[in-house]
Amino acid sequence: MNLSQLVDHLQGTTPMTAISPDRLIELRKLRGLGRPKLAKLSGLSERQIARLEGALPMKDAPSAKMLTQLSDALRVEPGAFSGDAPLTDSDFDFTHGKSCSCC
């Protein structure tokens, strides 16, 4: 993160989000999804998913909007992406956002 991004974050204009690449992969696989399907469900591109999973270098920190799109698609609480704590049943008790017909 450069100085400009840090200033934006501190001013609240660019929210920083913590997404652990390993946790995102774990959540995607727990839902039985490949990158193409997660991309379709979340509205993100496969390239963005690959970047978030650490397969490609990140250009910028993920936005709050990306976090919301992923949490809606994976049906988890947004905090589940941090990887700071083990996943619990409550991480999956998330009813916000779209529901899908695939699962």
Examine residue 29 and state whether it is found in any structural domain, yes or no: yes
Task: Look at the chain and report how many structural domains it folds into.
Answer: 1
Q: How far is CA 72 from CA 5, 43, 45, 62, in A?
A: 26, 10, 15, 15
d(CA 38, CA 94): 17
Per-residue pLDDT at 72: 92
Q: pLDDT digits over 2-56, tens only?
A: 555 555 555 544 444 578 899 999 999 999 999 999 999 999 999 999 999 998 8
Examine residue 72 and state whether it is found in any structural domain, yes or no: yes
Encoded amino acid at 50, one letter:
A
Q: How many helices (H) and strands (E) does the chain have?
A: 5, 0
Q: What is the CATH number of the domain that holds 27?
A: 1.10.260.40
Residue 68, domain extent: 18-81
Which pTM was predicted?
0.69
